[in-house]
Structure 1
């Protein structure tokens, strides 16, 4: 990864491998944040390529995973599960519905709500989604030992925890 260090000004310092996006000097105070940005961008790009082959867009497979695991859900519950917003979930569900992977049915307990449920076509897609996620995992962790994978996961979980804490306890 190429980084600009405060001591070196604009000069790159080699740490591991070359970054896919140059680290601007203004980002020198946040090398981990910049690395997360780059990693997330690449991960989403590869996920998109793999998912497109099976007729999905990134994020849709996560909705399907929850529906396969939990069964029919209200859209508001999907918003909460996915930590999404209502507008994004509406678009996602609409696209999945148009593709034939989900359908809406009235809620038996709440006349105002409808349940989003996976269709038979989506169940046929489940194995492919699992294969895509395995392939994405292999691409992302290629060359890592089991111990390095475990350490990477622990580090990512810690970073996520830190940001969740920051979101629930904002500093003034």
Structure 2
């Protein structure tokens, strides 16, 4: 994904591929950030199309993956695992519950908490979710060599690390005030 016009990023397009959306001149100081925005938008769109076929919305499959792997979890633990917020997780769990993919049961160790657990119906989805994630990976990495995929993954992990560190630094600075 390159810049769509030389003016937008103050230089020629890097790969010769057109951006999927025009890059406004105001984003010229952040071409990587704009590319991340475009990539995330497209990735979520394709994920949504694929997941819709099995009755899930983007993000719900990630909750299910954690539940399948770890077993029943408190909702607060799901919030932490997903780096989410309580309101979003509440809506996600409610929708999964309405679809019949999770159920709540009282926690045997904490009378105030309930555990969210996958249902038998959700276990039938697991193979489909794994297939969809493989398909999404194939769509995303089409035409890339194994080395290019490794480099892309390392770059994405570095970008994530940078933003996690910036968030921690900001939280620390806010705490000091």
Name the TM tier (shorter chain): over 0.9
Find the aligned partners of 1:168 and 1:9 in 2 and give their Cα distance. Answer: 31
Find the aligned partners of 1:3 and 1:165 in 2 and give their Cα distance. Answer: 30
* Structure with the higher fraction of residues in helix conformation: 2
> Given the superposition, is the C-alpha separation of residues 76 and 10 from structure 1 closer, same or farther in structure 2, using an over 3 Å criterion?
closer
Structure 1 range deviating more: 78-87 or 13-22: 13-22
Instruction: Confirm or deny: 8 A CA contact 1:3 1:31 kept in the other structure.
Output: no
Find the aligned partners of 1:58 and 1:9 in 2 and give their Cα distance. Answer: 31
Partner of 1:30: 30
3-state SS of paired residue (1:13): coil
Following TM superposition, the consecutive aligned residue runs of length 4 or more in structure 1 with deviations greater than 3 angstroms are: 8-12
Structure 1: segments with no counterpart, 5+ residues: none
How many angstroms does 1:163 deviate by? 0.2
Find the aligned partners of 1:53 and 1:23 in 2 and give their Cα distance. Answer: 32
Find the aligned partners of 1:11 and 1:120 in 2 and give their Cα distance. Answer: 55
- In the TM superposition, 1:77-116 aligns within 5 A as 77-116=77-116
Find the aligned partners of 1:73 and 1:2 in 2 and give their Cα distance. Answer: 43
Note the aligned Cα RMSD (angstroms): 1.6
Find the aligned partners of 1:54 and 1:36 in 2 and give their Cα distance. Answer: 27
- In the TM superposition, 1:127-138 aligns within 5 A as 127-138=127-138
Instruction: Confirm or deny: 8 A CA contact 1:3 1:28 kept in the other structure.
Output: no
Structure 2: segments with no counterpart, 5+ residues: none
TM-score w.r.t. structure 2 length? 0.92
